[in-house]
């Protein structure tokens, strides 16, 4: 008897995906965050699952992903970094779709910060968050590392610089200045970059279709190179 097994492009690969904007606490009732919805990360989690992968989603959105995806809820950049670091050695592909806050409040107030009578301005002191993907890039052994770049100008040039600086193997460049695509939207239009190859333009489509194309590109690259 021949037992047929479903073979996907990422069959049995361990894939770690991050999604959503990190939420950096200011005090017990306030966060510093950004406009990322997490939709691209969730679409990628579904597409990698459909490609046969063993998928872990590290997300800030509080949304339970579909059955079959391991879910790790986190809030801030340092929690996201810890969750990734713990699982990095055992992973084959890491996709950083999360919008990590570049800055966090220098300290978190223990109590809700109150307005003072007559106060009209408030200066929040911020400190740089770790660059999570750059850290993963520096420690890379066998992993295939995928980053995103959100840009409002000079998309390709800025994205190429990020790809080199962070040692990522594929970068999904996202022009977030256009209405109807990118942050918060249901659709996206991206450019896939890989070191030493010409940019691959993916036209505007629902995020689930963009995710399938990204996963296909990752899978084809891995099958050709490993």
Residues with catalytic roles: 34
Pairing of strands 144-151, 126-128: unpaired
Extended beta strands in 52-199, E state: 54-59, 70-73, 93-96, 103-105, 126-128, 144-151, 170-175, 187-193
132 is in an annotated binding site: yes
- Burial of residue 69 (CB within 10 Å: 0-12, 13-18, 19+) is buried
Using the rule CB under 5 A, is 152 a contact of Ca ion? no
CB closer to ligand CTP, 53 vs 149: 149
User: Encoding tokens for residue 186?
Assistant: 């249901």
Pairing of strands 30-32, 24-27: antiparallel
Q: Residue 149 binds what, of Ca ion, ligand CTP, none (CB under 5 to 8 Å, by partner type)? A: ligand CTP
**Pairwise CA distance, residues 226 & 222, whole Å:** 6
Question: According to CB under 6 A, which residues from 154 to 173 bind ligand CTP?
Answer: 162
88 half-sphere exposure, CB direction, 13 A CA radius:
19
148 is in an annotated binding site: yes
**Pairwise CA distance, residues 192 & 220, whole Å:** 13
Pairing of strands 93-96, 144-151: parallel
102 is in an annotated binding site: yes
Q: Residue 42 binds what, of Ca ion, ligand CTP, none (CB under 5 to 8 Å, by partner type)? A: none
133 is in an annotated binding site: yes
Using the rule CB under 5 A, is 102 a contact of Ca ion? yes
**Pairwise CA distance, residues 28 & 113, whole Å:** 9
Using the rule CB under 6 A, is 96 a contact of ligand CTP? yes
10, 47, 150, 214: which one binds ligand CTP (CB under 6 A):
150
Contact 104, 68 (CB under 8 A): no
CB closer to ligand CTP, 11 vs 213: 213
We find the least distance from the C-beta atom of residue 5 to ligand CTP, in angstroms, to be 33
Using the rule CB under 6 A, is 23 a contact of ligand CTP? no
Using the rule CB under 6 A, is 74 a contact of ligand CTP? no
We find the least distance from the C-beta atom of residue 216 to Ca ion, in angstroms, to be 27
Binding site for Ca ion (CB under 5 A): 102
* Residue positions forming the annotated binding site for CTP: 102, 112, 130-133, 148, 162, 166
Residues forming the site for ligand CTP (CB under 6 A):
77, 96, 98, 100, 102, 129, 131-133, 147-150, 162
Feature table: binding site: 102, 112, 130-133, 148, 162, 166
């Amino acid at each position: 008897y021949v037992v047929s097994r479903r073979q996907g492009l990422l069959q049995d690969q361990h894939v770690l995906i991050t999604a959503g904007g990190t939420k950096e606490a200011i005090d017990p009732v306030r966060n510093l965050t950004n406009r990322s919805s997490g939709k691209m990360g969730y679409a990628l989690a579904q597409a990698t699952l459909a490609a046969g992968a063993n998928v872990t989603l590290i997300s800030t959105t509080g949304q339970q992903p579909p059955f079959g995806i391991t879910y790790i809820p986190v809030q801030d950049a340092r929690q996201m970094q810890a969750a990734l670091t713990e699982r990095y050695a055992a992973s084959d592909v890491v996709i950083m779709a999360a919008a990590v806050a570049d800055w966090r409040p220098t300290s978190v107030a223990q109590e809700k910060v109150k307005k003072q009578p007559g106060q009209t301005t408030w200066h929040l002191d911020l400190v740089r968050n770790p660059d999570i993907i750059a850290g993963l890039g520096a420690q890379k052994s066998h992993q295939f590392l995928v980053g995103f770049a959100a840009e409002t100008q000079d998309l390709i040039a800025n994205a190429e610089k990020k790809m080199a600086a962070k040692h990522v193997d594929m970068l999904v460049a996202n022009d977030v200045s256009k209405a109807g695509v990118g942050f918060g939207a249901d659709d996206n239009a991206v450019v896939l970059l890989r070191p030493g190859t010409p940019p691959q333009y993916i036209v505007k489509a629902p995020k689930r279709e963009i995710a399938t194309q990204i996963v296909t590109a990752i899978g084809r690259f891995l099958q050709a190179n490993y």
